[in-house]
Structure 1
Amino acid sequence: MSNDEITLTAGDAEVALVPGSGGRVRSLRVGGVELLRQGERYGCFPMVPWCGRIRDGKFRNGATLHQMPLNSPPHAIHGTARDGAWRVARTGKNEAVLTYDLVEPWPYPGRVTQIAALTEDSLTLTMSVEAYDSSFPAQIGWHPWFNRNLGQDDARVDFTPAWQEERGADHLPTGNRVAPLPGPWDDCFGMPDGVHVTLSWPGQLELTVASREEWVVVYDEQPEAVCVEPQTGPPDGLNTRPRLVTPIEPLEATTTWTWRTL
């Protein structure tokens, strides 16, 4: 199938997916209003097979030490799949299925599948990582760039995390958990009952990012956008909280964004 842009529609909601640019959601429009920051680095991209930074780009799988390219020196950041071309497995009016085969520099063969399903008031993204032969640690996450301003007032961020991962000078968690601090943030938070973060553009729209996962990174240090990133583990989690993908046990995660007009 073609790797051209895919458009999904439901009611007054429209989503554009770009398989050839990292399997990214390029656009989410509700009632004609664009919710995602535009540009080839933005929209919403999948973070896989890891999320956020890996310290010094190094991770272990058992006794084997692997080195990933330092694309955010001195660290490796956001996985490899966002830099690759995904394939279109299936597409319809309001659902699309994309796949990506893990290749170098990632050292283990595997397949990532992402499903995007749109309704009139929600977008659900589901991703899985399968191993073919060797088992390996992996993470799944999403990195949406929501426009801070939709033409009137700036968005408000509302969430109640149980803790914040203390951030070191190298932008990685120190391993200590602290009481949640006020923003601005480039920080990881724990929500053991599942991620639930609401963005409200006063008088316009309210959007909730939800996931059964318990980790979320919130990044709002840029004036143009607010990022709410549900993920299966914290930054550097390949080293600190590895989730093993085996030939009989894939890793799967889902996030649902639900919106309503105000």
Structure 2
Amino acid sequence: MSSEEITLTAADAEAVLAPGDGGRVASLRIGGIELLRQGERFGCFPMVPWCGRIRDGRFLSGGAVQQMPIDAPPHAIHGTTRDGAWRVASHTDTEAVLTYDLVDPWPYPGRVTQVATLTPDALTLTMSVEAYDSSFPAQIGWHPWFNRTLEGGGEDVRLDFSPAWQEERGADHLPTGNRVDPKPGPWDDCFGMPDGVDVTLTWPGRLELKVASREEWVVVYDEQAEAVCVEPQTGPPNGLNTHPRLVTPIEPLEAATTWTWRRL
């Protein structure tokens, strides 16, 4: 099927998916107001089969060291699918199913399936990674770029969340393995929320949006002037090495996130 953009609509909510640009959500508009930073590198892209950085682009799997391209020197970052073209398996007015076959440079054959479902007050994204023959470690996550200010002006977005801990960040931007008390921003940091990711973004007087997931890890990045990122994921950065989740031919890795909004 075509990899042209797909528009989902539900009441005054509209989500645009770009299968040909990394399977990302290119736009999310509520009542005509754009929530996501625009541009081919932005929107909200899936991070798979790993999230964030891998130290030196290397991970150990089945006793072998695998080398990924160094695209955030000296590390590899955000998986292999965000620059590729996804296939449209099916879509309706409110739901789309996209698939991506894992290929080189990822060394293991498999398939990623992402489902986007839009309702009048929520967008749910689910993703699964399947292995065909060899088992391998993997991660799933999403990297949304939420506009710091909404069209028409108003105050900057406010972030509210109560993590149980913050992963101490080393000079190489990777977790050191130590858990520390959460520190004030700005952040490019991973936090632990063992009861599930629950982060509220509030554009005062305009809109409230909750990012939720049953996963316990979230990276928050708010060091840029244009946007803030709230990234639920199945493990921390460098997690293929430190918290590997094994995908086997009989046990896929699955995750989901739901964004729910209301007018203020």
User: How far apart are 1:43 and its partner, in Å?
Assistant: 0.1
Give the match for residue 213 of structure 1: 215
TM-score w.r.t. the length of structure 2 is 0.99
Give the match for residue 2 of structure 2: 2
Structure 1 stretches of at least 4 aligned residues deviating more than 4 Å after TM superposition: none
Secondary structure of the equivalent of 2:71? coil
Q: Does 1:136 align with 2:144?
A: no
Q: Does 1:230 align with 2:232?
A: yes
Q: Does 1:89 align with 2:89?
A: yes
- 1:1-262 maps to which residues of 2 (within 5 A)? 1-150=1-150, 151-262=153-264
Looking at structure 2, the residues matched to 3 and 175 of structure 1 have their Cα atoms a distance apart, in angstroms, of 40
Secondary structure of the equivalent of 1:199? strand
Looking at structure 2, the residues matched to 156 and 182 of structure 1 have their Cα atoms a distance apart, in angstroms, of 13
Secondary structure of the equivalent of 2:82? helix
Looking at structure 1, the residues matched to 228 and 12 of structure 2 have their Cα atoms a distance apart, in angstroms, of 23
* Counterpart residue type for residue 19 of structure 2: P
Looking at structure 1, the residues matched to 2 and 41 of structure 2 have their Cα atoms a distance apart, in angstroms, of 21
Secondary structure of the equivalent of 2:240? helix
Matched length: 262
Looking at structure 1, the residues matched to 93 and 6 of structure 2 have their Cα atoms a distance apart, in angstroms, of 10
1:27-73 Cα distance to aligned partner (Å, 9 max, x none): 00000000000000000000000000000000010210000000000
Identity %: 81
User: How far apart are 1:83 and its partner, in Å?
Assistant: 1.1
Secondary structure of the equivalent of 2:202? strand
User: How far apart are 1:119 and its partner, in Å?
Assistant: 0.2
What is the CA RMSD across the aligned residues, in angstroms? 0.3
Structure 1: which 5+ residue stretches go unaligned? Answer: none
1:123-150 Cα distance to aligned partner (Å, 9 max, x none): 0000000000000000000000000001
Looking at structure 2, the residues matched to 232 and 4 of structure 1 have their Cα atoms a distance apart, in angstroms, of 29
1:73-118 Cα distance to aligned partner (Å, 9 max, x none): 0000000010110000000000000000000000000000000000
Structure 2: which 5+ residue stretches go unaligned? Answer: none
TM-score w.r.t. the length of structure 1 is 1.00
* Counterpart residue type for residue 243 of structure 2: R
Looking at structure 2, the residues matched to 41 and 22 of structure 1 have their Cα atoms a distance apart, in angstroms, of 9
Looking at structure 2, the residues matched to 111 and 83 of structure 1 have their Cα atoms a distance apart, in angstroms, of 16
* Counterpart residue type for residue 59 of structure 1: F
Looking at structure 1, the residues matched to 39 and 93 of structure 2 have their Cα atoms a distance apart, in angstroms, of 24
